[in-house]
A and B are shown apart, each in its own frame.
Chain A
Amino acid sequence: MKEINQLNLPENVGFTEDHEWSRKEGSAIRVGIDDYAQDQLGDVVFVELPQVGDTFAKGDAFGSVESVKAVSELFMPLGGEISAINKNLEESPELVNTSPYDEGWMIDVKPDDPGELDAMMTNDAYLEMLKGL
Chain B
Amino acid sequence: MSKPVKKTRLHDWHVNRGANMAIFGSYDMPLWYPSGAKEEHLVVLTHAGIFDTSHMSVITVKGSGARDLLQVCFSKNLAACVGKDQKPLTPGRSVYGVFLNEAGEVIDDAIVFEAYDSLFMVVVNAGMGGVVSAHLQGYAGGRKAAVVDLTDQVGKLDVQGPQAARIISRIVKRPEEVFAQLPYFSFKGHFNTALPISGKVILTDGTPILLSRTGYTGEFGFELFVAPDKFVDLWQMLIDVGQPLGMIPCGLAARDSLRAGAVLPLSHQDIGAWLFKNHPWPFALPCEIDGRGFTKDFVGAVALQRSDSGQYTFPFAGFDLRKVSAAEPAVVVDDTERDIGRVLTCATDMAIGRHDHRIFSIVSPDKPVDFTPRGLSCGFVKVTKPLKPGQIVRLKDKRRTIKVEIVDDIRPDRTARKPLAKFIGK
A interface, CB within 8 angstroms of B: 1-2, 39-40, 42-43, 45-46, 48, 64, 66, 68-71, 73, 97
Residues of chain A contacted by B18 (CB below 8 angstroms): 1-2
* B325 interfacial contact with A, CB 8 Å: yes
A71 x B20 contact (CB < 8 A) = no
Residues of chain A contacted by B21 (CB below 8 angstroms): 1
B36 x A43 contact (CB < 8 A) = yes
Q: Which of A1, A42, A73 contacts B36 (CB 8 A)?
A: A42
A-B contact count (CB 8 A): 55
B325 x A43 contact (CB < 8 A) = no
Which 4 A-B residue pairs are closest in the complex by CB-CB distance?
A68-B37, A43-B36, A1-B20, A43-B38
- A39 and B37 CA atoms in complex are apart in Å by 12
- A69 and B257 CA atoms in complex are apart in Å by 10
Residues of chain B contacted by A64 (CB below 8 angstroms): 399-400
Q: Which of A45, A46, A69, A97 contacts B31 (CB 8 A)?
A: A69
Residues of chain B contacted by A68 (CB below 8 angstroms): 32, 36-38, 41, 253, 257, 348, 350
Binary flags per residue of B254-265, CB closer than 8 Å to A gives 1, else 0: 000100000000
Give B414 Cβ to nearest chain A Cβ, in Å.
20
- A64 and B323 CA atoms in complex are apart in Å by 12
Interface size on B, residues (CB 8 A): 26
A46 x B20 contact (CB < 8 A) = no
- A2 and B18 CA atoms in complex are apart in Å by 7
A45 x B38 contact (CB < 8 A) = yes
- A42 and B36 CA atoms in complex are apart in Å by 6
Residues of chain A contacted by B322 (CB below 8 angstroms): 46, 66, 71
* B143 interfacial contact with A, CB 8 Å: no
* B140 interfacial contact with A, CB 8 Å: no
CB-based nearest A residue for B14: A1
Residue of A1, A42, A46, A69 most packed against chain B (CB within 10 A): A1
* B161 interfacial contact with A, CB 8 Å: no
- A40 and B37 CA atoms in complex are apart in Å by 12
Give B313 Cβ to nearest chain A Cβ, in Å.
23
B257 x A70 contact (CB < 8 A) = no
B interface, CB within 8 angstroms of A: 15, 18-21, 31-32, 36-39, 41, 253, 257, 321-325, 348, 350, 374-375, 397, 399-400
A71 x B37 contact (CB < 8 A) = no
Give A34 Cβ to nearest chain B Cβ, in Å.
16
Give B76 Cβ to nearest chain A Cβ, in Å.
33
Residues of chain A contacted by B41 (CB below 8 angstroms): 68
**Interface SS of A by simple majority:** mixed
Residues of chain B contacted by A46 (CB below 8 angstroms): 321-322
Q: Which of B20, B321, B375 contacts A39 (CB 8 A)?
A: B20
Residues of chain A contacted by B31 (CB below 8 angstroms): 42, 69
- A69 and B20 CA atoms in complex are apart in Å by 11
Residues of chain B contacted by A97 (CB below 8 angstroms): 36
A71 x B375 contact (CB < 8 A) = no
- A53 and B322 CA atoms in complex are apart in Å by 25
Residues of chain A contacted by B325 (CB below 8 angstroms): 70-71
CB-based nearest B residue for A73: B399
Q: Which of A2, A45, A69, A73 contacts B321 (CB 8 A)?
A: A45
Residues of chain A contacted by B323 (CB below 8 angstroms): 66, 71
- A43 and B31 CA atoms in complex are apart in Å by 11
CB-based nearest B residue for A67: B37
Residue of A1, A48, A68 most packed against chain B (CB within 10 A): A68
Give B354 Cβ to nearest chain A Cβ, in Å.
16
Residues of chain B contacted by A71 (CB below 8 angstroms): 322-325, 397, 399-400
CB-based nearest A residue for B20: A1
Residues of chain A contacted by B350 (CB below 8 angstroms): 45, 68
B348 x A42 contact (CB < 8 A) = no
Task: Please judge, given known A-B contacts A66-B322, A68-B32, A71-B323, whether A42 and B400 are in contact too, CB under 8 Å.
Answer: no
Task: Please judge, given known A-B contacts A66-B323, A68-B348, whether A42 and B37 are in contact too, CB under 8 Å.
Answer: yes
- A42 and B31 CA atoms in complex are apart in Å by 9
Give B170 Cβ to nearest chain A Cβ, in Å.
30
Q: Which of A1, A69, A73 contacts B253 (CB 8 A)?
A: A69
Task: Please judge, given known A-B contacts A69-B253, A71-B399, whether A42 and B20 are in contact too, CB under 8 Å.
Answer: yes
Give A5 Cβ to nearest chain B Cβ, in Å.
14
